[in-house]
């Protein structure tokens, strides 16, 4: 489900989200602090990002207008026929977002997968709107961990025990190992 030829390492949630989208017919909510990559990870599941067609960002005025005037009113098809994933970014800023998503999800549900992003304070339990109970699962995206920041090759050969005992020595040993394997005598 993810983009082909992705050259960057994936975040820890990437495979978990991919598995969820394959197995379940629920909206996926990705929540977390600002600037941790919620939008990036959500859009990585799209074959191509087409703003206003398969990716909607509430903070972009033209996309917000499209949502309010055409999508929520049922006047425009919700998705690109070539892919079945739709991303709604920061939609929780719309006061009636749960009602809007519930109606659209129930209408398009078996044919589409939905990824909703928002802040860590995304409040799905707020009173006065329809319940989304059973229609979503929430995943928390945190800032990069140390394991994500260490190069993949280094991560694979370092053990937690060696790092805890002597972090400096563990990294020096790893660098020496890399030098031997990358520049054989």
CATH number, domain of 123, equals: 3.40.50.300
Q: What is the pLDDT of residues 26-80, one digit of tens each?
A: 888 898 888 888 998 888 888 878 787 888 999 999 999 999 998 888 777 776 6
Same domain, 59 and 138: yes
How many other CB atoms are found less than 10 A from the CB of residue 85? 20
Q: What phi and psi, each to the nearest 5 degrees, are found at residue 118?
A: -170, 175
pLDDT band, very low/low/confident/very high, at 178 (cuts 50, 70, 90): low
Same domain, 139 and 155: no
In a domain, 134, yes or no: yes
How many other CB atoms are found less than 10 A from the CB of residue 175? 11
The reported pLDDT for the residue numbered 155 is: 57
Total domains in the fold of the chain? 2
pLDDT band, very low/low/confident/very high, at 144 (cuts 50, 70, 90): confident
Residue among 86, 148, 87 at smallest CA distance from 112: 86
In a domain, 122, yes or no: yes
Give the residues across from 119 on adjacent strands.
Answer: 32
- 62: containing domain: 14-144
d(CA 17, CA 32): 15
The reported pLDDT for the residue numbered 3 is: 44
pTM: 0.70
Residue among 84, 71, 72 at smallest CA distance from 45: 84
Same domain, 44 and 117: yes
Same domain, 124 and 174: no
């Amino acid at each position: 489900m993810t983009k082909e030829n992705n050259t960057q390492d994936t975040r820890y949630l990437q495979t978990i989200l991919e598995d969820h989208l394959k197995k379940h017919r629920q909206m996926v909510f990705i929540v977390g602090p600002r600037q941790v990559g919620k939008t990036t990870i959500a859009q990585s599941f799209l074959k191509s990002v087409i703003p206003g067609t398969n990716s909607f960002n509430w903070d972009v005025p033209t996309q917000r207008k499209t949502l309010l005037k055409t999508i929520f009113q049922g006047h425009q098809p919700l998705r690109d026929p070539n892919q079945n994933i739709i991303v709604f970014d920061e939609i929780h800023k719309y006061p009636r977002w749960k009602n809007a998503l519930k109606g659209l999800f129930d209408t398009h549900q078996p044919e589409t997968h939905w990824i909703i992003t928002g802040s860590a304070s995304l409040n799905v339990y707020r009173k006065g709107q329809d319940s989304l109970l059973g229609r979503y699962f929430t995943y928390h995206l945190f800032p990069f961990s140390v394991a994500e920041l260490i190069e993949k090759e280094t991560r694979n050969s370092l053990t937690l025990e060696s790092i805890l005992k002597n972090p400096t020595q563990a990294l020096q040993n790893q660098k020496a190992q890399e030098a031997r394997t990358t520049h054989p005598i």
